[in-house]
Structure 1
Amino acid sequence: MKKTLLTLLIPCAFGANAAYEQAHDPHVVGGLPTLTCEMTIKEPVEPPIPPGEIHNPDGYYDSALDKTGDELKLALNNIISTGITKLPYTDNSSPDAMDVWKALMITDEDPNDSSNVILMYTGRSQLKTLNSSSDNGGDAWNREHSYPKSNGGFNDNRASAYTDIHHLRPTDASINSERSNLEFDNGGSPTSESPAAGNKKDGDSFEPRDAVKGDVARMMFYMATRYEGKDTSDVSNPDLELVSTVSGNGTALGNVCRLLEWNTADPIDDFEFERNSKIQKIQGNRNPFVDNAQWAEVIFRKDCTE
């Protein structure tokens, strides 16, 4: 089912802090008189699929539909490892050359302001041009490897995982530095950067704010499915796995038990769902766990050994 193209006259309220709210969270803004605004939905978009239903756009997952467990993971690996366009991390050869910077300006664009991107950990809406390619300040945005490249062993920017935009997100440079290569779990104290946002960290783990916990989990499920150490043409050829611990894991990453909880607690929303489709247009593949979040349980539950 798709949304219909329409134009609506709706009441709109504007406030000074609106630009700093997460685009796919409920907005609570105010402070100025209510105005009447015209809102046009420019093109049909597919909404997220209700939990439990299978989303199979254009038969993309046909070869995986009758499988479960490790067989499902293998089938999904074959699907999402095919037809990939590997992006350069940075390409300044021309204004039109696609690279990770430009891709993230598309995939994470603020739906309410096309000049901005939404920063994952803070939820801040920020100018696309205020990024670390032109500004070294702590409030510039940079390219966060949500699966840390040092953990995964893909530190070479020629590696597919290094430039895979399914797990690369715009983040405030300061909080990216605070998180460093910490793995994911609950607990800790508020981060120094934007403590009110809800991110926490301790000596061995990082807990993202509630509004993106599911996003983080589904990115990790994707990485552990996409990179199975089978692609011998890849400069790093990583085999990424999810485990129940958060330290001493080698190229594996934890905590998978918490990721499964976050996958349920923070369901897929329009922003994440539409980001998946944008990535397919740029990179050539989809994140199966954004399309079908329930697959995470049947593949990764066995790895939760707490």
Structure 2
Amino acid sequence: MKKHTRILTVLLSLWALAAHANLSDLLISEIAITPTEGEFIEIHNKGGNVIDLTDVYLTDATYPGGGGTYYYQLVSGGGGGGGFADFYARFPAGASIAPGAYQTIALNGAVDFNNLYGVDPTYEIANTNAVPDMLEARIGSIDGLSSGLSGGGEVVVLLHWDGQSDLMQDLDYVLWGDKNEAVSKTGISIDGPDADGTPTSYLDDTDITSQAVVSASSHASGMSWQRSDMNEGNETKTGGNGISGHDETSEDTNNTFFEDTPTPNAAAGNPPAPQIIINEVDAVGSAEFIELTGPANVSTSGITLVMYDGATDQIYDVYDLSGYQLSADGYLLIGDAGLSPDIVLPAGSLQDGPDAVAIYYADASQFTIGDGITSTDIMDALVYDSGQADDAGLLALINNGEPQINENENADATNQSMARCPNASGGSLNSSTYQAVDPTPGLLNNLCPIGDYYATADDTNATTLRNSLHEIIDDHTSFPYSNDGIDDTWEVLSFADEDPTDPSKVWMIYKNNSYTYNGGGQQPYNREHTWPQSYGFSSGALGSDNTARTDAHHLMMSDVGYNGNRGNLYFDNCDSGCTNDVTTANHGQGGPGINNKYDSNSYEVWDFRKGDIARAMFYMDVRYAGDVSGEVDLQLTDNAGLIQTGDPYMGLLSTLIQWHNQDPVDSYELERNERVYSYQGNRNPFIDHPEWVECIFINGGQCTTVADDLIFKNGFE
């Protein structure tokens, strides 16, 4: 009998080891944080074996600002929970999760959960006796859970600890909102309950500034965040504190989670297709390529590139883009090996036309060479030629009325490509903005000719020029002020103000230093409204996403402290009683004696940026004329008394004209204008044509031509 008992004990021990060995298959698969009665965290077993949950914990108990409270301190008797509405819970003894199963933990109790979703959760934090309760990780660690998860900044960690060792293992780590509660165990040593008296050190985690957030703000009420990638995206797989050496803090959760209607105890819905389009194609020449563009670092998993032969209107090649992602600048390059692409395209792979390339949000197995044209799950397409007639069959791939693009439009197909001009413009399945230009594989299409952009500018007098320029530059594409760095002003400015010597950094307007770009939220940099939003277009008056507030022609990256010093002071020269904002010696500019200066009324910008600021102000004056609902009539003035909070005046005009003349347009300003144009689709005319400042703002209604200037400038009259 004893022998049988020993055998049973050994078998049970082996089963427990096997169950724990599969812990790397355990994930956080869904999080709902609002409304309060519907808050839950869902876990998923992606593997093929039962997982024992006895030594698995779940927590948001990390509060660096509250005396340095961290969940991993549980091994030495601390670890938080039961305060600041945080919880630190463990699964009941003997709990398990079957292969492929989803289980939910309701944070506000099972009754509210069932009332909202129509099903019971698997476990609950609040004790309503309806379903099994989660246990305390330590005494009191689930007390005081009044508001549950925060939408403003929170981390949830799924972890394993055997109760004996010094260290615990992260199973999954999900961060959203700001990074105030983000965790890094780099440099941490703990002496836990193993009784050896020797502290044990954790391995380095991903630096907090490099950790991804699911979203910069809460999901919509009644929605949830759901995992779309059960392989944890682009997580670093080795050298971390997670199970099996994972580095759970390195997952690109901004790509692996999406927002949708909650699916508690069940698989997620279908994630929306990422906002990726075809941006440039070179089909003729020695270095062929296809360039895709979209949000920085977004995954291309699930996307398939298909090539169509116009002679047969059938598929002639297929590329599976799963496992790749766009660059930090938002590009994926499929091309000739000489271009150092992300995916190599063998020489001569692209047919010259009439042909087409298309991308689909569908598995590559759904496409076979020889298949006909399909628009099912299509994301974008380009139909092109090198001088041949239009192919009606291929044109069915794109929106009705959109043109087939001729790469040989300028009789130089071997040296030019077909690119969206401005960069990324036109929209999905639209081709009207493509032009034949010099190739820029994997880079911004910044060699696009302006062409007839200013063709309707009328310089008969100041009024006709002002009005005609307004009509040219208004109705631009406007982006949300904040949207987790995806298609918002953070994304636009990360590109517009990119450090020309280091693409990973952004260049500050006043301080003249650079910071590594880590997305939006609480950073050492922020967004400076060079025309203060309090002067006509505050978020309270017109909404957080009003066009003037989000316009990147005047919105610029700034050091937080310097932005605060500037406040909403108008621009003017400061001659006495001034406080210095010292610039740094960066990019050959700045240094002693070249500083910003300010007093109680005005702010003087350092010399290298004076013209940049002035031309941004001239742009705002002309762009915003109050002729569109929700937009104000912004006006530059020399009357400082008019410049008041809530009123649409800014200045001083005469000083800005002086700065414009003192600091002419330079190559950096030209490049920035191009980059903003690539997003917004409009330009700052006073950068392209500095002479128009004199016509509109100086001559009082009289405009002079270049010829007039040459004749009369020396007093010939």
- The alpha carbon displacement at 1:194 in A equals 4.8
Does the CA-based 8 Å contact 1:154-1:238 persist in structure 2? no
Question: Quick one: distance in 2 between partners of 1:275 and 1:289?
Answer: 13
CA offsets 1:129-162 (integer angstroms, 9 cap, x no match): 2x76143xxxx11000000000123333121101
| Distance (Å, rounded) in 1 between the aligned partners of 2:639 and 2:517 | 36
Quick one: which amino acid aligns to residue 278 of structure 1?
R
1:59 pairs with 2:443: no
- 1:126 aligns to 2:527 (yes or no): no
CA contact (8 A) 1:244 1:255 kept: yes
Instruction: Quote the residue 1:3 is aligned against.
Output: none
1:143-162 map, 5 Å? 143-155=527-539, 156-162=543-549
What does residue 580 of structure 2 align with?
A: 191
Instruction: Pick one of 631, 644, 664 that aligns with 1:267.
Output: 664
SS of corresponding position for 2:549: helix
Matches within 5 A, 1:155-170: 155=539, 156-170=543-557
Where relative contact order (Cα < 8 A, 6+ residues apart) is larger, the structure is: 1
Instruction: Specify which of 636, 640, 643 is matched with residue 246 of structure 1.
Output: 640
Equivalent-residue separation in structure 1 for 2:549 and 2:470 (angstroms): 17
Q: Which residue is 1:111 aligned to? A: 500
Contact 2:537–2:548 at 8 Å: present in 1 too? no
- CA drift of 1:123 comes to 1.0
Matched, 1:282 2:679: yes
CA distances 1:217-243 after superposition (whole Å, capped 9, x unpaired): 0000000000001012x2xx2110111
The match for 1:176 among 563, 578, 583 is 563
Which 4+ stretches in 1 moved above 4 angstroms?
Answer: 42-46, 192-197
Mapped pair 1:216 → 2:621: no
- Deviation of residue 288 (structure 1)? 0.3
SS in 1 for 2:504: strand
Q: CA separation in 2, counterparts of 1:111 and 1:209? A: 19
Q: Is the contact between residue 508 and residue 557 of structure 2 (CA under 8 Å) also seen in structure 1? A: yes
**Alignment-mate amino acid for residue 482 of structure 2:** T
Distance 2:544 2:621 in 1: 19
Once residues 109 and 158 of structure 1 are traced to their aligned partners in structure 2, the CA distance between those partners, rounded to angstroms, is 23
The Cα of 1:67 is off from its aligned counterpart by 3.2
Q: Do 1:241 and 1:253's aligned partners in 2 also have CA atoms closer than 8 Å?
A: yes
Contact 2:489–2:552 (Cα < 8 Å) also in 1: yes
The structural deviation recorded for 1:119 is 0.3
Shift in Å, 1:302: 5.3
Conserved? CA contact 1:200–1:208, under 8 Å: yes
1:257 CA displacement: 0.3
- Structure 1 residue 128: Cα displacement: 1.1
Displacement after TM superposition at 1:281 (Å):
1.1
Distance 1:149 1:45 in 2: 30
Q: How far is 1:64 from its partner?
A: 0.6
Local SS of the residue matching 1:63: coil
- Going from structure 1 to structure 2, the CA distance change for 1:211 and 1:285 (only over 3 Å counts) comes to same
Amino acid at match of 1:148: P
Shift of 1:191: 3.1
CA contact (8 A) 2:624 2:634 kept: yes
Question: What secondary structure sits across from 2:686 in the alignment?
Answer: helix
TM score, norm. by length of structure 2: 0.32
Q: CA-atom RMSD, angstroms?
A: 2.2
Q: How many residues align?
A: 242
Given candidates 613, 628, 638, the residue that maps to 1:231 is 628
Contact kept, 8 Å, 2:572 with 2:603, in 1: the verdict is yes
* Offset, 1:269: 0.7
Match of 1:87 in 2: 479
Runs of at least 5 residues in structure 1 that lack an aligned partner in the other structure? 1-41, 47-55
How far 1:246 moved relative to its partner? 2.8
Higher helix share: 1
Tell me if the contact between 2:479 and 2:545 (Cα under 8 Å) persists in the aligned partners: no
Among residues 255, 263, 266, which one is paired with 2:652 in the alignment? Answer: 255
In 2: Cα distance, 1:134 partner to 1:217 partner:
28
Tell me the alpha carbon deviations over residues 64-93 of structure 1, each in whole angstroms, 9 at most, x when there is no partner: 1443301100000000013x211001112x
The change in CA–CA distance for 1:296 and 1:192 in structure 2 (over 3 A counts) is closer
Instruction: Name the aligned partner's letter for residue 508 of structure 2.
Output: L
Unaligned runs of 5+ in 2: 1-438, 585-591, 701-717
Q: Give the structure with the larger strand fraction.
A: 2
Write the deviation string for residues 183-212 of structure 1: whole angstroms up to 9, x where unpaired: 000015133565955101112111000000
**Are 2:446 and 2:674, in contact at CA under 8 Å, matched by a contact in 1?**
no
**What SS class does the counterpart of residue 59 from structure 1 fall into?**
coil
TM-score normalised by length of structure 1: 0.74
Amino acid of the structure 2 residue aligned with 1:112: T
Identity of aligned residues (%): 36
Greater alpha carbon shift after TM alignment, 283-292 vs 240-249: 240-249
* Cα distance in 1 between the residues matched to 2:460 and 2:493: 33
**Aligned-partner SS, 1:166:** coil
Choose which of 74, 98, 117 in structure 1 pairs with 2:467: 74
Instruction: Give the corresponding residue for 2:491.
Output: 102
